[in-house]
Amino acid sequence: MERRSSYRALVVEDDGAILNLVKVVLERENFTVEGVKSGAAAIELLDAIAYDLLILDLMLPDVGGEQLLGYLEQTQPKYLRRVVVTTASPGRMSCEFLQRICRLLAKPFDIDQLVLIAKECAQPDAA
| pLDDT attached to residue 65 | 87
| pLDDT attached to residue 78 | 87
Q: Is 52 helix (H, G, I), strand (E, B) or coil?
A: coil
Q: What are the sequence ranges of the domains in the chain?
A: 7-119
- Higher confidence at residue 32 or residue 97? 32
* Residue pLDDT, tens place only, 79-120: 899 999 998 877 766 667 778 899 999 999 999 999 999 999
Whether the per-residue pLDDT at 1 is higher than 50: the answer is: no
Adjacency order of strands within the sheet including 53-57: 31-36, 7-12, 53-57, 83-87, 103-106
Minimal CA–CA distance to 97: which of 115, 120, 72, 118? 72
Residues 6+ apart with CB under 8 A from 44: none
- Please give the model's pTM, rounded to 2 decimal places: 0.90
For domain 7-119, give the fold.
Rossmann fold (3.40.50)
* Residue pLDDT, tens place only, 46-79: 999 999 999 999 888 888 888 999 999 999 988 8
